[in-house]
A and B are shown apart, each in its own frame.
Chain A
Amino acid sequence: MNGILETLSGMKTGGRRLIGCFPLYPPLELLHSFGLTPITLWGMRDAVRDYGTGDRHVQNYACQVARALTGFVIDNGPSLFDALFMYNACDTLRNLPEIVHAGIRETGADLPIFRLHVPALSPDRTGAKDYLRDRLRLLMADLERFTGRPFSAKAFAESAALYAKQRSFCREIEALCTGGKMPFAAAAPLLERAHFMDVREHIALLEEAVTHHAGLPENGSGVRVLVSGIQAPPVDLLRVMDASGLTVAANDIATMARSYGTSPTGSDPLDYYAAFYFDHHPCTTILPAGDRRIKLLGQRVQEDGIRGVVFFGEKFCEYEYFEIPYLQETLNTRGVATLFLELGADDLANLMPLRTRIEAFAEIVRGDSV
């Protein structure tokens, strides 16, 4: 597969109008229905090796996602993207649009940035749904002006159907991992490509993988574990897990299960996104979803026969850090072993200490299963 930069450049030169979206869960279907190709600017570890540009604007105690995004968009945004989109996903990301914009303008270029405030409330709270609907109407009006095309319910329904299909395939891929037919180390990069590809092309890739792996024999003899985190860990670490006798049977990763776990239906974008955001697959960044997350993890552990959970902590992601101690304690009480590993921009060059800890964890969990 091509690197992110090559992929995006190819799409751009192919005539697509790309909109760079700040993570985590932008309204992809809506943007797509206006003829834009949304790209969710997750960590981009293969595209951003040098944090120099980002570090001119953002302190190095911001997470890798923020640092990479800032540098990548300032360096490449004007040549790749027609616009940017952000919503209030987290405290760090909400601070970035003006920083990124200022950085782009320093280069003599400019890019419009669309913003959306998603209520951090449960839907039963006064005004929550109406406020979201108002914000969405404004966003749609902005998109109409920007693209020069009116909103089309038909186009939206088609886009929503495409993303529903993509998410369905993603869940099938995860089911193949759960069933031991596909190693997670192979699945993770494929699932994460969702963020940097045209949705139709990604569906084709997923469909091919599902067809291929569905016919393979099960090979899930390892101890079943769940991995949690913001981004998938480097593939090298996932391979270490495989080699250590751990089978990743489920994930609670923001770039994966948390992204494809929600798939509303309907052609009214206002209702659609009320369902999308208020009933979203639990994520630490969705403030009212904290209690649901604990329940869901417990359910996955029980249903998938999970013996261990590996938390890949995104360095400096305080959202995750506030939840992990309680989650670990809760899981440990239920007899599930846990391991917490921290991954930051500066840790990726030397994975050996993390490998050692995974191997040690695997020995412990395997010992339990004997």
Chain B
Amino acid sequence: MPHETPTGGFKKTSSGKRLTGIIMNDYLQLHQRAAEGAFVVWIAIVVPAEIFAGFDNVVYAVPESHAAMSAGKGVGAVQCGKAEKAGYSSDLCSYARIDLGTAMDGGKDSPSFGMPRPHLLVSNNNNCSLLAKWFDVYHRVWGTPHFILDIPFCYEEQTPQDFAYIRGQFADLVRTIEGLSGQRFDEAKAREAVCLSGEALREWKRFTSLAQHRPSPITAFDSFVQMAPILTSRGTQQLADHYRALADETEEQMRQGVYPVPDERYRLLWDNIAPWHQLRKMSGRLASLGANITTASYTYCIGSLEGTFDMYAYDGGDPFAWLARLQNFSVCPHGMALRARAMRQAVERNGIDGVVFASNRSCKVYSLMQMDQMRFVRDELGIPAVMIDVDHADERKYSEEASFVRLEALLETIDAGRRGNGMNSGNPSI
């Protein structure tokens, strides 16, 4: 993860150092247990990993998370290049290219030495169907079974029919793992993992909600970095403890008057996946301009239902029911009206001055509503917005200068609005 930067922005705190240890330990454990004979599952990020806790010896790896880490560590383009050399188009999602490049080269150049080869692939199609196509590559090359979770897209809130359909597929997944691994599923263990995830998400929400304060004690970049163990340590006490400590530490920093952007003049919202290769640079440069991306739809949606960033708490009942209801928590499977509703909530609650739409060539599902969302933000929420081109993990497709020209223009538009001749006075959006 990035180191402390002298120019401001997010800093490596004790929670940051603890995070590094957690991630390192997660990958070490993954490799070790796989080597000792554990049943290995590769999953898409929103596949409910708590289910695997119901088995004695099932471990899971998350290729998207590994790809994000690789990009953050500066090896994204290297791994992408390997996949491209093997014929995979540079127009494909950079997470996929990083993952394919890593797998094809036996984990070389990976910060975690890659991931142990899976016995089962579990993808889903609500974040994006391409995960199924991506995992199919391994299915064909390695002959690994591939289980797809079919999760209907939410143009409106999840219907009871969709809920029942999803819930039923989780039971199918359990049966599939039982059949392939020879292990028996213990629902009590999965329930315990769900309880711990619920606890962790409550703390996560406490942490992200601190962005409501002025100045904000956090940046969205903190949340980008700190979301990693939600993907690798889900359903563990370690995760709940970490997020509790993270929220506590952040509150303590507030009491001490320590803020990432003390001279916070612009409070921004980021819409899309994090630009993993730019976290340090972008946050530092924005901080030097007095700008703080305090809020991100990408990370603030975690633990929420579609159309809101509020916590959806576990009630102690059927653990699969909670997982099924939360299965659409991420923004990608949400229609425009739901995205708009959640964005309005975040803008109003967190006092957002402007929105940065990161048009992400590697994530069409997140990006292909943004042009209309920009009009919504401008016309309905009355604040300016800007669109910048990014690729979440392939830095070759990102231009810092082109992006900052537009980001600086956004800040100028906010200033103009404050002087009374901004967009509300008839100036166009950027």
Contact = CB atoms under 8 A, between A and B. Distances in A.
B129 A325 contact: no
Given A119-B150, A319-B129, A127 B165 contact: yes
Interface stretch (B133-141, B208-216, B342-350): B133-141
Given A57-B372, A321-B89, A91 B130 contact: yes
Q: Main secondary structure on chain A at its contact with chain B?
A: helix
Interface stretch (B2-10, B24-32, B50-58, B361-369): B361-369
A56 B372 CA distance: 8
Given A290-B136, A321-B88, A97 B155 contact: yes
A326 B92 CA distance: 15
Interface stretch (B34-42, B167-175, B314-322): B167-175
Interface string B118-135: 000000010011101110
A125 B169 contact: yes
Contact of B368 (A59, A125, A284, A322): A59
Contact of A59 (B93, B129, B140, B367): B367
B137 to A, nearest CB: 6
A313 B116 CA distance: 33
B155 to A, nearest CB: 7
B371 A57 contact: yes
B172 A125 contact: yes
B336 A99 contact: yes
B132 A287 contact: yes
B87 interface: yes
A115 B86 CA distance: 38
Contacts of A292: none
Contact of B148 (A66, A287, A319): A287
Interface in B363-393: 364-365, 367-372
Contacts of B161: 131, 134
Contacts of B130: 91, 318-319, 322
B88 to A, nearest CB: 6
A121 interface: yes
A162 interface: no
Contacts of B150: 119-121, 125, 128, 287
A324 B86 CA distance: 11
B430 interface: no
B401 interface: no
A290 B153 CA distance: 22
B188 interface: no
A88 B152 contact: yes
A98 B129 CA distance: 19
Category for how many chain B residues contact A: 35 or more
A59 B164 CA distance: 35
B335 interface: yes
Contacts of B180: none
Contact of B169 (A57, A61, A126): A126
A314 B92 CA distance: 12
Contacts of A125: 150, 169, 172
A21 B350 CA distance: 41
A245 interface: no
A99 B129 contact: no
B379 to A, nearest CB: 11
Contacts of B96: 322
B91 A321 contact: yes
B87 A328 contact: yes
Nearest to B161: A134
A322 B86 contact: no
A168 interface: no
Given A95-B364, A127-B165, A127-B168, A325 B86 contact: yes
B87 to A, nearest CB: 4
A323 B133 contact: yes
Nearest to A138: B161
Nearest to B90: A321
B365 to A, nearest CB: 5
A285 B132 CA distance: 10
Contacts of B364: 59, 61-62, 91-92, 95, 316, 318
Interface in B43-97: 86-89, 91-93, 96
7 A-B pairs with the lowest CB-CB distances in the bound complex, closest first: A325-B87, A322-B133, A98-B336, A127-B168, A95-B368, A321-B89, A117-B152
7 contacts: A58-B371, A59-B364, A287-B150, A318-B364, A319-B129, A321-B91, A323-B136
Interface of B: 86-89, 91-93, 96, 125, 128-130, 132-134, 136-137, 139-141, 148, 150, 152-153, 155, 161-162, 164-165, 168-169, 171-172, 335-337, 359, 361, 364-365, 367-372
